[in-house]
Amino acid sequence: MFVHLRQQLNEIIGQALRGLYDQDTQSPPLAGQAPVILIDFPADKQHGEFSCNIAMQLSRVLKKNPMTIAQDILPAVQTGLSASAIAPYIEKVQVKAPGFINFYVSLKGFHAVIEDVLKQKGRFGISQYGRGQKFCLEFVSANPTGPLTVAHGRQAAVGDSLVNILKAVGFDAQKEYYVNDEGNQINILGRCIEARVRQALGVDAAFPEDGYQGDYVRTIAQEFMRKQKIKTIADLDRQPAEAFRHFGADHLMAVIQKDLEDFDVHFDIWSYQSRIATTRAIEEVLADLKAKEFIYESEGALWFKSTLWGDDKDRVVRKSNGEYTYLMPDIVYHKDKFSRGFKRIVDILGPDHHGYISRIKAAAGALGKSPDDLDVVIVQLATIYRNGKPVSMSTRRGEFISLREVMEEVGKDAARFFFLMRQTNAPLEFDLELAKKESAENPVYYIQYAHARIHSIIRKAKEENRLAPKISGSSGLEAVEEIDLVRKIGSYPEILVTCAKQLEPFGLVRYLQELAGCFHKFYDACRVLDDDLNITCERLALIEGARIVLANGLRLLGVAAPEKM
């Protein structure tokens, strides 16, 4: 509803401007230098529901005072408005200093918002903004060298919610996990497992210096011995060298997949480095890049000219010893992604990869795409706090809190919500005690409580045989708290679009907190189950609208909207 009004107002203002200035010989024609018409939502409601700053923008072009321009435009806008279909929904138009044109929504307009929500229910907020554009989001993509940590947990929460939001606004978005089942890290894992097996057989085997210290490696070693029936050193020596790392990677991938399933993050595509970046594929891509002269040789190594796209320096793709660096198979992988028809690719990475951004964007350029077709979202670390103190973490030393531990301690809902409570690009403090607390300080409960409370009222209304939620338009919805709540409900679709544009689910989290706040304020000020049945019906409709939006929003975040708590 609000989206619709906004678009209509935009057109009406456009018409008014064309009518006013195109035939005016004194003023230069606006064509070519006409500013874009923007309709904003004023922060302060005394300025109405929509405002337009076009008069200020025109001030420079027309060399006139913004106030006079606004006054000039106003009559034409009012004429255009009264002739349009949205006339009943706008109560008045006003010019205010320093030149804003403000639009005030009528009571009928607010009613229409609620009617719209009640009609669309679970689909309210869904739009076609993305026009079916194919989007690939790759995230988590943890190496199968250990269980998922809280850092991965935050990436999973961000990525999953982002895909949900993108889908809601009409993008064809997919979730992809890239499995680095080759390379140094996996080799180290293999050596660690082998060392643990030897130790279990009573041999004093050296553990790799940069190895994974966690106990889970011992568990994998035990499992390996059981499966391969290894009882002696002779049994062990019959194992091919790669058996350890294959077993370890398979085992840990199964662990990771289970972690993600339980976290309610379900990937559409699992891509394996071993299958995509084959020796042959690498050679083909390398030959292609060489032909385009994006590759040169120096000091026995092959370098990629990433500086052509603004990187600090060129990057080695093949070392002088003949091995490829991590970048080379990753270029092949991104080529593979583009070849699957995605218009935009988003890599969600940890903060330690931020030096990698310009490199991989350069790769997109070298592959014949625009570096802008590939976005990198950096998810900053989440530090776990217990009893007010940070818990130190290091995967290598085996000191870390796993995602599973957090999930089991605070529950999936609180965990997912907490991971999204700050802007993605800002570090996050995750307070375990707070997340477990069932009180007002805990934001996730604040929102869920609003939902449960509404449910409880509606349930009671039914039990007492009251009328169903309905907008009659004859009374009610006039109190400040009521209108504030409607206004908040109506802005939901725009919030989703903004989150999608910015690739930032945090905005939705904040919105839901505000929406819950608007509801609680309303609840305190206005009684729903009133003696006046008209008012009761309207207020039931209002809170049912709020409930629907709370449920829709929480669903996109992967957080439950309970009917009772």
Partner RNA sequence: GCGCCUGUAGCUCAACUGGAUAGAGCAUCAGUCUACGGAACUGAGGGUUAGAGGUUCGACUCCUCUCAGGCGCGCCA
Compute, in degrees rounded to 10, the torsion defined by CA atoms 563, 166, 505, 449: -10
Class of residue 323 by CB neighbours under 10 A (exposed 0-12, middle 13-18, buried 19+): exposed
44 or 204: CB nearest RNA: 44
Residue 496 tokens, joined: 């989703």
237 or 299: CB nearest RNA: 299
The answer to whether residue 310 forms part of the interface with RNA (CB under 7 A) is no
Full strand arrangement of the beta sheet holding 134-138: 269-272, 172-179, 134-138, 344-349, 374-378
Ramachandran angles phi, psi of 112, nearest 5°: -60, -35
CB of 202 to RNA, least distance (A): 33
- Decide if 178 contacts 139 (C-beta within 8 A): no
The answer to whether residue 149 forms part of the interface with RNA (CB under 7 A) is no
For RNA, the binding residue among 53, 141, 155, 552 (CB under 7 A) is: 53
Using CB under 7 A, which residues numbered 314 to 353 contact RNA?
316, 319-321, 323, 325-327, 351-353
CB of 130 to RNA, least distance (A): 17
Full strand arrangement of the beta sheet holding 301-304: 295-298, 301-304, 315-318
CB of 173 to RNA, least distance (A): 19
What is the per-residue DSSP string for 397-416? TTB--BHHHHHHHH-HHHHH
Q: Which of 428, 559, 545 is nearest to 488 (CA)?
A: 545
Full strand arrangement of the beta sheet holding 428-431: 389-390, 382-386, 428-431
What is the per-residue DSSP string for 269-326? EEEEHHHHS-HHHHHHHHHHHHHTT-EEEETTEEEE-GGGGT-SS-EEEE-TTS-B-T
The answer to whether residue 6 forms part of the interface with RNA (CB under 7 A) is no
For RNA, the binding residue among 457, 537, 542, 561 (CB under 7 A) is: 457
Applying CB under 7 A, which part among 20-28, 367-375, 389-397, 498-506 lies near RNA?
A: 498-506
Tell me how many residues contact RNA (CB under 7 A). 85
CB of 228 to RNA, least distance (A): 26
For RNA, the binding residue among 139, 267, 417, 523 (CB under 7 A) is: 523
CB of 111 to RNA, least distance (A): 20
CB of 103 to RNA, least distance (A): 9
For RNA, the binding residue among 510, 534, 555, 560 (CB under 7 A) is: 510
- What is the C-alpha separation between 124 and 168, in angstroms, rounded? 10
What is the per-residue DSSP string for 157-212? HHHHHHHHHHHHTT-EEEEEEEE--SSHHHHHHHHHHHHHHHHHTT--PPPPTT--
Using CB under 7 A, which residues numbered 242 to 281 contact RNA?
none
33 or 222: CB nearest RNA: 33
Residues 6+ apart with CB under 8 A from 509: 417, 420, 421, 557
- Decide if 493 contacts 124 (C-beta within 8 A): yes
Applying CB under 7 A, which part among 13-21, 45-53, 253-261, 385-393 lies near RNA?
A: 45-53
Q: What's the Rg (C-alpha) of the chain?
A: 29
Q: Which residues of 370-400 are buried (b: 16+ CB within 10 A; e: fewer)?
A: ebebbbbbbbbbbbbbeeeeeeebebeeeeb
99 or 153: CB nearest RNA: 99
Cα–Cα–Cα angle for 173, 277, 302, rounded to 5 degrees: 120
The answer to whether residue 74 forms part of the interface with RNA (CB under 7 A) is no
Using CB under 7 A, which residues numbered 97 to 136 contact RNA?
98-100, 102
CB of 417 to RNA, least distance (A): 13
For RNA, the binding residue among 129, 333, 419, 506 (CB under 7 A) is: 506
Applying CB under 7 A, which part among 36-44, 77-85, 171-179, 401-409 lies near RNA?
A: 36-44
132 or 355: CB nearest RNA: 355
132 or 390: CB nearest RNA: 390
The answer to whether residue 300 forms part of the interface with RNA (CB under 7 A) is yes
CB of 201 to RNA, least distance (A): 30
- Decide if 342 contacts 134 (C-beta within 8 A): yes
The answer to whether residue 473 forms part of the interface with RNA (CB under 7 A) is no
Contacts with RNA, 378-417, as mask; x by CB under 7 A: ----------------------------------------
The answer to whether residue 37 forms part of the interface with RNA (CB under 7 A) is no
For RNA, the binding residue among 452, 487, 534, 560 (CB under 7 A) is: 452
Q: Which residues of 26-38 are buried (b: 16+ CB within 10 A; e: fewer)?
A: eeeebeeebeebe
- What is the C-alpha separation between 424 and 157, in angstroms, rounded? 10
- What is the C-alpha separation between 562 and 80, in angstroms, rounded? 46
The answer to whether residue 10 forms part of the interface with RNA (CB under 7 A) is no
197 or 428: CB nearest RNA: 428
- What is the C-alpha separation between 544 and 532, in angstroms, rounded? 18
For RNA, the binding residue among 8, 149, 180, 271 (CB under 7 A) is: 180
For RNA, the binding residue among 7, 33, 184, 475 (CB under 7 A) is: 184
- What is the C-alpha separation between 179 and 270, in angstroms, rounded? 7
Applying CB under 7 A, which part among 13-21, 69-77, 128-136, 423-431 lies near RNA?
A: 423-431
Span between the terminal Cα atoms of the chain, in Å: 32
CB of 229 to RNA, least distance (A): 32
In sequence order, the β-bridge partners of residue 174 are 136
Contacts with RNA, 150-169, as mask; x by CB under 7 A: --------------------
Using CB under 7 A, which residues numbered 528 to 557 contact RNA?
528-529
236 or 349: CB nearest RNA: 349
CB of 326 to RNA, least distance (A): 3
The answer to whether residue 423 forms part of the interface with RNA (CB under 7 A) is yes
Question: At 355, which amino acid appears?
Answer: G
